[in-house]
Amino acid sequence: MRLVTIVPTGTANTASVVAALTRLGALVEEAASAGDVETAQGVVLPGVGAFGSAMDRIESLGLGAAIRERIEVNRPTLAVCVGMQLLSRHSEESPGATGLKVFEETVGRFGDGLTVPQMGWNRVEPGPGSRFVESGWAYFANSYRIDRLPDGWAGSNTDHGGKFVSALEKGDVLACQFHPELSGEWGARLLDRWLQRVETAA
């Protein structure tokens, strides 16, 4: 059984993420407490919108420490879009807000002269050590990005006015700047590979 607990970040892509996981045979429930996150087979951290408001929601529910702890021991966790950015310490989008501090990189805005937000399809190329991500086209909707691979993580790159980190992998943790739930068959295969680890780790 593929049991997945989704973090209620109050953001707009939760329904589409749930729908995509359900199509792949997952049973999805919403986290109501830190205990739900701690005991879950798999956890999804979705996100569309502002870094600061999503982080405020997580902390108001008392879920921040539980999310960080399961990522630090590489338990099955999927972070999507702003969810990936929340793993950092800070974002230029929300000065003064503090993320989950899984790694130290700061999330920065795309440079001047680029189309912002980046909306639509772009190429994703996995780097050494990637287990989940394969080369292909993914759907993006982002104005901010991480431009350096954190220590200890495998990653994938995408180009939008220069290379940026479009996915991170470590153990059974997968973080995607793109939206796998909106990325067609390529995205469905990626989600299924992650769900296989949820099932195996149960």
Show which residues are catalytic. Answer: 81, 179, 181
CA distance 154 to 168: 6
The three-state (H, E, C) secondary structure of 95-128, written as one string: CCCCCCCCCCCEEEECCCCCCCCEEEEEEEEECC
Do 139 and 178 touch, CB atoms closer than 8 A?
A: yes
Kindly report the CA angle at 58 between 54 and 63, in degrees rounded to 5?
A: 155
The amino acid sitting at 76 is: P
Chain centre to alpha carbon of residue 25: 20
